Amino acid sequence: KNQVEQSPQSLIILEGKNCTLQCNYTVSPFSNLRWYKQDTGRGPVSLTIMTFSENTKSNGRYTATLDADTKQSSLHITASQLSDSASYICVVSDRGSTLGRLYFGRGTQLTVWP
Amino acid sequence: EADIYQTPRYLVIGTGKKITLECSQTMGHDKMYWYQQDPGMELHLIHYSYGVNSTEKGDLSSESTVSRIRTEHFPLTLESARPSHTSQYLCASSELASGGARDTGELFFGEGSRLTVL
If you ran DSSP here, which 8-state letter would residue B54 be given? -
Report yes or no: B3 at the A interface, CB cutoff 8 Å.
no
Report yes or no: B111 at the A interface, CB cutoff 8 Å.
yes
Cβ B107–A106 below 8 Å, yes or no?
no
What's the alpha-carbon Rg for chain A, to the nearest Å? 14
Where does the pLDDT of residue A36 fall: very low under 50, low under 70, confident under 90, or very high at 90 and above? very high
B4 pLDDT exceeds 70?
yes
For residue B87, give the nearest of B48, B42, B26 by alpha carbon: B42
A102 pLDDT exceeds 90?
no
Cβ A97–B109 below 8 Å, yes or no?
no
Q: What sign for the dihedral angle of Cα A25, A73, A29, B53? A: positive
A43-74 residue pLDDT tens: 999 999 998 888 999 999 999 999 999 999 99
* Nearest-angstrom CA–CA distance, B77 and B84: 15
Query: Looking at beta carbons, which residues of chain A come within 8 Å of B106?
Result: 46, 49
Where does the pLDDT of residue B100 fall: very low under 50, low under 70, confident under 90, or very high at 90 and above? very low
The enclosing H or E element of B10 equals: strand B10-13
Report yes or no: B93 at the A interface, CB cutoff 8 Å.
no
Calculate the dihedral angle through the C-alpha atoms of B30, B23, B105, A58, rounding to the nearest 10 degrees: 150
If you ran DSSP here, which 8-state letter would residue B56 be given? E
A98 pLDDT exceeds 90?
no
Q: Looking at the complex, report in whole angstroms how far the Cα of residue A98 sits from the nearest Cα belonging to chain B.
A: 6
* Nearest-angstrom CA–CA distance, B86 and B118: 8
B24-52 average pLDDT score: 92
Nearest CA in chain B to A47: B106
Helices (H), chain A: none
What's the alpha-carbon Rg for chain B, to the nearest Å? 14
Query: Looking at beta carbons, which residues of chain A come within 8 Å of B40?
Result: 106-107, 109
